[in-house]
Amino acid sequence: MGTFLKLIRWKNILAVAGIMFIMKYAVIVPVYQYYGVEIGLSNTGFLFLIMTAVLIMAGGNIINDYFDRKTDMINRPERVLVGFKVNRRSAIFMHSAFTFLGVVCGFITAFIAGKFIIGLYFIFISFLIWIYSNNLKRKALLANITLAFLTTLIPLSVGITEYYALENSLSEWTIETARAIKISFQVIIGFSVFAFLFNLIRELIKDCQDFRGDYKTGIKSVPIIIGRKNTNWLISVLALFSLITIVFIWEVYLSKLIFFQNSIVGDIYIYIILGLPILILSVRSAWGEKIAKYRRMNTLTKFIMFFGVLFSLIFSFVVYGKI
């Protein structure tokens, strides 16, 4: 059981389920309740949505380890499972089974939401994961962008499914309904942009960590093509760009929402809890090529991502008038 849990990377899967739960109950539900709108997707539908994401991600993690075996033998040999504790044929079977079940759950979710296209959405995600693991992962920057894009689909899937479910359940749109779906969906898009930027940064940091193994196995990662020094500057610029983007979204949109107009909590959170660590990441990224440095940057990026997601709880408390 321990080997299986490591193979599917249960901590990452638990994080995905947690993010989806937070998008639903810390963003969508509070806004809907504020405007007196009923949730469109039932609890059963949402459960199938989470199962879809969990199963597809589990299958994706397995196939990723399958194709990464040679590189991981150099970069992190103690973590290699496929070919040792799990034979390669079993890995392919588990990937296929999890992906198939995930797509089935996706179509059940689509049926409950009343929109067939939702099922096609999850087929697209499954196909993109396979292409990434089998081919795109060996293409510089495109691989990083693809993986970062996949992470944005996690919170987006919650917003998209809820939108279609609500649309299907309504006899007519009201001003309150339009405001509720608009605000909740736009906030979720903000989280998706955040997820894209910082997963892209984290992938570049991991590429710098995995430089030796990627070089020996012929993977053309960004650090191998332009060097770790130039990649450091790229990470630094991306972190600074991310900070500017977050501040822009906050000042132009979020802070203008009725929920935040009489609260300074958002300013403190954006500029200190999130802004300061991002600025430190940008400055620290600019120099140094030791593995220990990249490990610290990876940890700092995880910290930023954790508190970025945690902002959803701040949003929820503000909407409910708790802070």
Q: pLDDT tens-digit profile of 224-264?
A: 999 999 999 999 999 999 999 999 999 999 898 888 887 78
Backbone φ and ψ of 86, nearest 5°:
-130, 120
Say what the pLDDT of residue 323 is. Answer: 66
* DSSP assigned state of 264: S
Residue 53: what pLDDT? 95
CB-based contact 278:304 (threshold 8 Å): yes
pLDDT at residue 61 in the model: 85
- Which of 93, 84, 101 lies closest to 63 in space, CA to CA? 93
CB 195 within 8 A of CB 152: yes
Rg of the chain in Å (alpha carbons): 21
Q: Which of 143, 149, 150 is nearest to 210 (CA)?
A: 143
Distance (Å, rounded) from C-alpha 183 to C-alpha 59?
33
**What gap in Å lies between CA 121 and CA 111, rounded to an integer?**
13
pLDDT in tens, the chain (323 residues): 777 788 888 888 999 999 999 999 999 999 999 999 999 999 999 999 999 999 999 998 888 777 666 665 665 655 666 656 677 788 788 889 999 999 999 999 999 999 999 999 999 999 999 888 777 777 778 888 988 898 898 889 999 999 999 988 887 889 999 999 999 999 999 999 999 999 999 999 999 988 887 777 777 789 999 999 999 999 999 999 999 999 999 999 989 888 888 778 989 999 999 999 999 999 999 888 888 899 999 999 999 999 999 999 999 999 987 66
Sequence-distant (≥ 6) Cβ neighbours of residue 31 within 8 angstroms:
180, 183, 184, 187, 319
What is the spatial distance between Cα 303 and Cα 276, in angstroms, rounded to a whole number?
12
Domain ranges of the chain: 2-319
Instruction: Please tell me the predicted confidence (pLDDT) of residue 69.
Output: 65
Helices (H) and strands (E) in the chain, counts: 15, 0
- Supply the DSSP string of 268-321, one letter for each residue: HIIIIIIHHHHHHHHHHHTS---HHHHHHHHHHHHHHHHHHHHHHHHHHHHHTT
The first and second tokens of residue 308, run together, are: 């970025």
List the Cα angle 144/52/76 in 5-degree steps: 40
Do 152 and 193 touch, CB atoms closer than 8 A?
yes
* Residue 212 to residue 77: CA distance in whole angstroms: 13
Look at residue 283 in the predicted model and tell me its pLDDT: 95
Contact 91, 134 (CB under 8 A): no
Q: How far apart are CA 186 and CA 40, in angstroms?
A: 17
The two three-digit tokens of residue 5, written as one number? 């849990």
pLDDT attached to residue 102? 96
pLDDT computed for residue 272 by the predictor: 95
